[in-house]
């Protein structure tokens, strides 16, 4: 008599059912990571903007342009940087922070920054430009994009 080797059909079906149940629990955990990736990307851009604002302010102070009111222009690593009251101006935000892959919506003296081609509820943040020499530029926390108004809804730092 010959012995069979291998799995029976019933054993294979049971294994497939178990794998299906396991994947039903695991799939939702890994299915929608794009939102987390977009948020992390915008957080990185936010850090870049904060660093650029600090570097521009430091260079402006070192160049003797830090205590002025109004606007000035100087060059930083080949980029022409606009200053407002000795702080980074929103008009130079994209070049100073190297935000080429992001959408920057200017609304002087502020700017909203989000991912390229944002949808409603995409992550974003607001750069609040200086309004006078005693009011430094700052960056909001990450909020959500409102496509209807083309603006970012955030909380201030």
pLDDT one-digit tens code per residue, 84-110: 888 999 999 999 998 989 999 998 789
Q: Considering its fold, how many domains does the chain have in total?
A: 1
In a domain, 21, yes or no: no
Please, which pLDDT band fits residue 70 given cuts at 50, 70 and 90? low
In a domain, 100, yes or no: yes
What is the DSSP-derived secondary structure letter of residue 15? Answer: H
Range of the domain at 78: 34-153
Burial of 90 (0-12, 13-18, 19+ CB in 10 A): buried
The mean pLDDT value for 23-50 works out to: 83
Q: How far apart are the first and last CA of the chain?
A: 81
Spatial separation of the C-alpha atoms in residues 115 and 119, rounded to whole Å: 9
The mean pLDDT value for 3-16 works out to: 85
pTM for the full model?
A: 0.74
Closest CA to 65 of 43, 82, 40: 82
In a domain, 14, yes or no: no
């Amino acid at each position: 008599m010959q012995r069979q080797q291998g799995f029976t059909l019933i054993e294979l079906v049971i294994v497939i059912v178990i794998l299906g149940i396991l994947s039903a629990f695991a799939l939702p955990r890994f299915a929608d990571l794009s939102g987390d990736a977009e948020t992390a990307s915008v957080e990185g851009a936010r850090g870049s903007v904060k660093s650029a604002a600090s570097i521009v302010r430091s260079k402006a102070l070192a160049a003797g342009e830090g205590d002025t009111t109004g606007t000035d222009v100087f060059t930083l690593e080949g980029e022409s940087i606009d200053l407002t009251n000795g702080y980074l101006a929103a008009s130079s935000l994209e070049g100073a922070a190297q935000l080429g892959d992001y959408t920057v919506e200017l609304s002087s003296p502020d700017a909203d920054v989000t991912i390229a081609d944002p949808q409603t509820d995409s992550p974003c943040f607001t750069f609040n430009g200086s309004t006078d020499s005693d009011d430094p530029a700052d960056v909001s926390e990450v909020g959500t994009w409102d496509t209807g108004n083309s603006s970012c809804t955030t909380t201030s730092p």
